[in-house]
Amino acid sequence: MRVKVKEVGPRDGLQNEPLFIQTEDKIAWINQLSKTGLSYIEVTSFVHPKWIPQLADAYEVASRIERVEGVTYAALVPNRKGLEGALAANMDEVAVFMSASETHNRKNINKSIEETYPVLKEVIDEAKRANKTVRGYVSTVFGCPYEGKVSIERIIAISDRLFELGIDELSLGDTIGVANPIQVQRTLERLLKQFPVEKMALHFHNTYGMALANVFASLQMGMTIFDSSLGGLGGCPYAPGASGNLATDDLVYMLTQMGIDCGVQLEPLTKAAQWIEEKIGRPLTSHHSHVVRGN
Ligand code: HMG
Ligand code: MG
């Protein structure tokens, strides 16, 4: 069995950091991540800089990183304007996003769910014309900070629509980290009846410390693609209560200990974690970083 780890630290990890990380430092960090064996890095997002000031330097970062062969470099884009930036920076892949709940969708991208589809369609069509692969995120799959539980029928309907629009892969977002392993398995049981497992990914946040348990539950369902952020950095500023992502270092440690190949080496990953820890000016939250610090 082989698992694919998709590093979202430079985007999801940093987007909520209050202290602006210098452009040069973002670039240097991504360059380090490129040499850890990771095969996928979401490097930034081309959203409105007023909404996400930390990533206002998206073009600079995306266009100046050193590309390593075999690594896919992706960026989050909300609309056509964002796509233009991502294409100008020659990203390999773009990721579109929307929520399964109306309120979060509105707070995050200022549109209703129905109004979002044509915007995403335009992005997907244009990205395909430029020969790019497109990833789709659905947020609040396992719970919404404003609306609570989200029905499985709604998640299926949105997933269906996004695949119809042409996405190549769908990432199911536990935006505020409220999923539990049984809920994950029940959700996947339904979704995997309809959508191919190799096109499905999971994106856990770790608010209640359940992200690794949720990964294990997903592995048992045959899932092999997981998003994570080095050191456990992360969170969505438009989802109150959202905390850090599943930590890449914890994920890689667990997979390695279980004898599951993911191609990522823990040693350079640890160095890259220590490096960004210094830049953000506070201790990282991953278990692995606690062990490395000795506390
Ligand atoms: P809006 O205000 O509705 O945009 O924002 P608009 O289309 O009405 O345009 C207003 C102005 O914004 C115009 O400028 C546009 O040009 C400009 P003006 O004419 O007034 O000078 N504009 C842009 N500027 C730069 N880049 C763009 C862009 N688009 C329009 N792409 C918008 C709509 C989507 C832009 C805004 O709501 C936004 O940027 N939202 C981003 C929110 C965000 O990044 N959230 C975090 C990422 S999602 C997440 O973390 C969840 C995930 O990790 C999965 C999970 O955990 O569940 C993926
Ligand atoms: Mg996220």
pTM: 0.98
Residue 203 in contact with ligand 1 by CB distance below 6 A: yes
Q: How far apart are CA 74 and CA 84, in angstroms?
A: 14
Indicate which residue of 155, 230, 236, 269 is catalytic.
236
CB atoms within 10 A of CB 9: 28
Q: How far apart are CA 14 and CA 8, in angstroms?
A: 9
Helix (H, G, I), strand (E, B) or coil at 88: helix
236 is catalytic: yes
Residue 235 has pLDDT above 90, yes or no: no
Region label for 217, one of left (φ > 0), alpha (ψ between -120 and 50) or beta (otherwise):
alpha
ipTM greater than 0.90: yes
Q: Which ligand is nearest to the CA of 175?
A: 1
Mutation test of ligand 1: which of 48, 76, 162, 227 has the most ligand atoms closer than 8 Å to its C-beta? 48
Q: Which of 15-19, 98-102, 143-147, 217-221 has the lowest mean pLDDT?
A: 15-19
Q: How far apart are CA 54 and CA 225, in angstroms?
A: 27
Q: CA angle, corner 200, sides to 199 and 205, nearest 5?
A: 150
Distance set, CA 212 to CA 116, 221, 251 (Å): 32, 14, 7
The pLDDT tens digits of the residues spanning 90-130 come to: 999 999 999 999 999 999 999 999 999 999 999 999 999 99
CA of 45, closest atom in ligand 1: 44
Q: How far apart are CA 208 and CA 116, in angstroms?
A: 30
